[in-house]
Amino acid sequence: MALLFISNDDSPVEWQDALTSFDPDLDFRTWPDLGTASDIEIALVWKQPPGSLADLPRLKLIQSLGAGADHILTDPQLPGGVPIARLVDSNLTQQMVEFAVLAVLSRHRRMKQLQLAQTQSLWNVIQPIPTHHSRVGMLGFGEIGREIGNALTRLGFPVTAWTRTAREDSNIVCQSGENGLVAVLHSSDILICLLPFTEETKNILNADTFATLPKGAYVINMARGGHLAESDLLSAIDSGHLSGAWLDVFNEEPLPSDHLFWKHPKVIVTPHLAGLTVASSAAEQVIKNLRLVRSGKAPNNAVNLKHGY
Ligand code: GLV
């Protein structure tokens, strides 16, 4: 029985080494060299070509190579009835925490203005604003959001979070529903998008959202490019309502070289690297999931198709 690896962004050699260190008998195959299709029990995928999972008669699990599964669900020929699982990896979570803290502190201490001042040899002392005046709002509060919220709270930032369904947390004030969203936006000097990408969250960062944020607010998108209405963001920054944005994800990746974001003085662009999957730390859970589905059980971190994540 075999595993089929499909990704242009992850290293098959690293994954094969990492997986076979947990299961030396694993028959690792890399798409499109499937061999006998009926051998394949598990597909380990990142942005699989549409239809590539359609003719695998013994497929028991589609395992995402990332924390999100939206890249899998867009395939119109996705085989029905095969469970899909996301990765929940402490290494990736830690990277996401570091990235969120970096972006929040960078805005809070006005790094972009300081760098600009340096290019002009200007000794520009910017008085720090008190941490408790930089209110952070998070859209999304899953495994990653909780850790980010805790890290920012420890640094002294007041944090609120918005989630699809009502949630309780001992550290962070959580809101849900339409009114909850407005409440979180009203009190977000820095807004971080961490949501799963679904039909409901598509373009959630739009002109109305920005208008609800306080003047001078800053937007960090480290979820998916499809969450953001790009031209609405540029209008909100250029009108002076928003102070800027840090974007790690884009509608089109790599971001086209003529895109306005690249050279915008108030936008920081990073190439979708806030949290990258590390084979050596994530392989064990893939093998665990393979064992679970082989014994007829549901995999860990299964995607709920109704919710889309
Ligand atoms: C990356 O974006 C992921 O889903 O892990």
Tell me how far the alpha carbon of residue 66 lies from the centroid of ligand 1, in angstroms: 4
How many angstroms does the Cα of residue 67 sit away from the middle of ligand 1? 5
How far is 232 from 212, CA to CA, in rounded Å?
13
Q: Averaged over 165-187, what is the pLDDT? A: 94
Phi then psi dihedrals of residue 301, to 5 deg:
55, 40
- Tell me, using a 6 A CB cutoff, whether residue 275 lines ligand 1: yes
Domains by residue range for the chain, with CATH: 2-89+277-294 (3.40.50.720), 90-269 (3.40.50.720)
- Structure-block tokens of residue 306: 């109704």
67 lines ligand 1 (CB under 6 A): yes
Q: What is the pLDDT of residue 169?
A: 87
Q: How far is 87 from 144, CA to CA, in rounded Å?
A: 11
Whether 303 and 309 have beta carbons less than 8 Å apart is answered as yes
Task: Say whether pLDDT at 171 is over 90.
Answer: no
pLDDT at 273: 97
Spacing, Cα 46 to ligand 1 middle (Å): 9
Please report which residue ranges of the chain form alpha helices under DSSP H: 12-22, 70-73, 90-108, 111-119, 143-154, 177-186, 207-212, 230-238, 260-263, 279-294
Tell me which of 110, 224, 259, 264 is the catalytic residue: 224
Asked if 107 is an active-site residue, the reply is no
Residue 291 falls in the annotated catalytic set:
no
Q: Which tokens belong to 50?
A: 């549409």
Of 110, 100, 196, 194, which is closest to residue 153 (Cα–Cα)? 100
The structure's pTM equals: 0.95
pLDDT digits (tens, 9 = 90+) for 203-226: 999 999 999 999 999 999 999 999
